[in-house]
Amino acid sequence: MKVLSFYLACVSLVLAAPSKRDDTATLGEFTFVNQGLVGFGFIPHDAVDSAGDTLGGIGSSIAIKPSTWTKGDGKYTGTFVVHPDRGYNVEETIDYRARQHEISFTLTPYTDDKKLSFEDAQKTLSLTYETTLFNKDRGGTDTTGLDALATRPAVASDPILPIPSEDYPRLSLDVEGLIANEDGTFWLSDEYGPYIYHYSATGELLQAISPPDAILPKDGSGNLNFTSIEDPLVGVTGRTPNQGFEGLTIDTQTNTLYAMLQTATLQDGGAEKETSRYTRLVAYDVTNEPAELVGEWVVPLPQSKKSKTRGQSEIHFIGHDIFLVLSRDGDGKGSDETESSYKQADLFSIASATDIHGTQYDDPSNPISPGGVLVGDITPAEYVEFLFFEGGDDDETLIASKWESLAIVSVEDDSTPDDYFLFTFADNDYITSNGIMLGVPYDAGNDIDNQVLVFRVTLPSLG
């Protein structure tokens, strides 16, 4: 199969030429194949949603809405559900209501050798904003993106929850993971808790799941402190600030929900990039409420030549204990450093990894990797590199710096039953020179569109 070839630097300067990297990866009994880029599109940086706010940050988490995927006449149509994070907050966090958007799309996969102009490449994936649903707190009140500087006591089935203050006790959400269920409900994961939330089809909060103690952020006195501020006097154990449950996925056959931290917890070496490699993956049986913790594993993230950890931004279960994982640097359009060296959809397997749930390692006083060195009685997941996004020139074709989401759907070709389209969205951090947030115009000093890439891949473990 031929790959999409156009003047978009983010996927290599000339895709018709042989790839500089291997397009296959083997994990266990399966060989996975990257067949190349087949689509590109974006939502303009200055688009607005139904609330009048800049439509940005949508790459934080995505899903394809069930029953909307349709094939016909060489084209595919469907609807994305996308969930931005906590709004434009360069200077400080803001009172941004958590929300998810629906975006309809038409994919016309391009497989010819002929290069496309940047303008023509955009026609392979058209995107149209449709509507917005707001996520509510208990009692139907609004949620907020404000920093979680206080806590709300546990009530009924709810654990202790993060809020801005006792005077403003709204649920603080910084959503980074999304699952759209067949029954119309949604699972969300966030960075403040880091918690997992179950929401109804109309935005009502149904359930909040608290992780093991080793993952909950605590100060030196052992008290919960959900702030996102990076302060060694505030956070001592638990998730590293702004590095909560970035990855969220589900095995629909067993109703097992998986969530993974962006990097290691503080006690596991998370305070420094050189020691934050060993992150944690947790699993919950969500068949009934309350959800039950049924697994926990250690995943070794990739590191740069200078031993800097490449944090993960999304995971996707693809069967047989295997996951896709989006690991990356922070370079590209929107960053001070435009040349990116690592943005990849890689693979890992927990088939032979040690399940540590319910062990001493769920106590923060027993780190799994003190100083970044994994303890000897834990076997981590097996991790292999797979699909690479390349960088390019500093112009409109430059790859965005933050890619944070994955969605997979079948190509629906009986002759290639293991082939899927892999969609990935960038998070533009609401960066635009023509923005508006909570009724206040702003100029972020740059214009970064919400970019989307579509690859065709062979994933035999899903069969």
Q: Which residues lie below 8 Å from residue 352, measured CB to CB, with a gap of 6+? A: 379, 382
- Per residue in 169-223, pLDDT (tens digit) is 999 999 999 999 999 999 999 999 999 999 999 999 999 999 999 999 999 999 9
Tokens of 210: 């608290």
Instruction: Give the phi and the psi of residue 139 in degrees, each rounded to 5.
Output: 80, 5
pLDDT at residue number 18 = 34
Residue pointed to by tokens 């709300």: 152
Residues 64 and 79: beta-carbon distance below 8 Å: yes
What torsion, rounded to 10 degrees, do the Cα atoms 322, 279, 451, 340 define? -110
What is the Cα–Cα distance from 85 to 138, expressed in whole angstroms? 20
Q: How many CB atoms within 10 Å of residue 188?
A: 23
Q: What's the Cα-to-Cα distance from 12 to each of 36, 162, 277, 304, rounded to whole Å? A: 11, 43, 28, 20
Spatial separation of the C-alpha atoms in residues 180 and 171, rounded to whole Å: 21
| Cα dihedral across residues 96, 403, 214, 348: positive or negative | positive
Could you tell me the pTM of the whole model?
A: 0.95
pLDDT at position 7 over 50: no
218-246 pLDDT tens trace: 999 999 999 998 776 678 999 999 999 99
| Confidence band, pLDDT 50/70/90 cuts, at residue 337 | confident
The SS3 assignment for 435 reads strand
Nearest alpha-carbon partner for 406 in 253, 100, 179:
179
**Mean of the pLDDT values across residues 144-170?**
97
CA distance 177 to 343: 18
Q: Write the DSSP string, 163-190.
A: ESBTTB-PPB--EEEEEE-TTS-EEEEE
pLDDT, tens digit, for every residue of 129-141?
Answer: 999 999 999 999 9
> Mean of the per-residue pLDDT values for the chain?
93
